[in-house]
A = this chain, B = another copy of it.
Amino acid sequence: MTSGASRTGRQRLAPDVRRRQVLDAAVAVFSEEGFHGASMDAIAVRAGVSKPLVYAHGGSKDELFAACLHREADRLLRSVQSAAGEPDAEPLARLRRALRAFFLALTTRRQGWTVLWRQASTGPFAGEVDALRRRIVEEAADLMAGGLGVPRARVLPYAHTLVGAAEGLADWWLTDPEAAATTGPGDPADVLADLLVAVVGPGLATIAPSGAVSGER
């Protein structure tokens, strides 16, 4: 159904290939059942291997979950950062590209998103996902501060608001795709990115100017 399980019972594979299989299965099961709800047996079954193999390649349950978190966080952050592009480009365009990459990443790696946001946001791993979130917020804050010519501390609440808005829109899109499809024609990631920019853009523009920090830019 999801990732590569199946196969004959016994098959020798290269360690890194198996490790990737195990990680994929772990992400899938963790995303569906949550950390506590997922059992190592279920992960083993999903991966199409036996339980000791999971321990051999993934370590303990905590280590395995942490590995999932790191991999998915890395992928998400990397794709968003690379999509933003050159730092000297137009700030609003960079923001829009980053948002588009974010929405796109959710569909291509939806299970990873679920693990990160809905499973790891609590418990002993909350620090991990908080760190990722904070890095994303920092990116957004840098973008805003640079684009508006305003000190970073001043745009921090707006960055958190923007990221939260993106999350809310993303969750709706993933939860109720047919309703979200009526938003407009074309690539959904494009439509949603445009929509978000349209909502927060004018509001953000008002915090910039009029005497606060005159000279800059």
The number of chain A residues with a CB under 8 A from chain B is 46
A130 to B, closest residue via Cβ: B175
**A203-B198 contact, Cβ under 8 Å, with A37-B123, A123-B37, A163-B168:** yes
- A171 in contact with B164 (CB, 8 Å): yes
A200 at the interface (CB under 8 A from B): yes
**Chain A binding surface SS class:** helix
State the copy count for this chain: 2
Residues of chain B contacted by A118 (CB below 8 angstroms): 121-122
A179 at the interface (CB under 8 A from B): yes
**Cα–Cα distance between A192 and B207 once the two chains are bound (Å):** 15
A126 to B, closest residue via Cβ: B118
- A169 in contact with B195 (CB, 8 Å): no
- Tell me the minimal C-beta distance from A168 to chain B in angstroms: 1
Interface string of A157-176 (1 = CB under 8 A from B): 11011111111110110010
Residues of chain B contacted by A180 (CB below 8 angstroms): 157
**Cα–Cα distance between A183 and B167 once the two chains are bound (Å):** 22
A92 at the interface (CB under 8 A from B): no
A11 at the interface (CB under 8 A from B): no
A156 at the interface (CB under 8 A from B): yes
Q: List 30 A-B pairs, Cβ < 8 Å.
A: A34-B122, A36-B36, A118-B122, A119-B122, A153-B182, A156-B172, A156-B179, A157-B180, A157-B183, A157-B192, A158-B195, A160-B168, A161-B165, A161-B199, A162-B168, A163-B168, A164-B165, A164-B166, A164-B167, A164-B168, A164-B172, A165-B165, A165-B168, A168-B168, A198-B207, A199-B200, A199-B203, A199-B204, A201-B203, A202-B202
New A-B pairs, 19, CB < 8 Å, besides A119-B122, A167-B167, A201-B203: A37-B123, A118-B121, A156-B172, A157-B169, A157-B172, A157-B183, A160-B168, A160-B169, A160-B172, A161-B165, A161-B169, A162-B168, A167-B168, A198-B203, A198-B206, A199-B204, A202-B202, A202-B203, A202-B205
Shortest 4 CB-CB distances between A and B: which pairs?
A164-B168, A36-B36, A202-B202, A165-B165
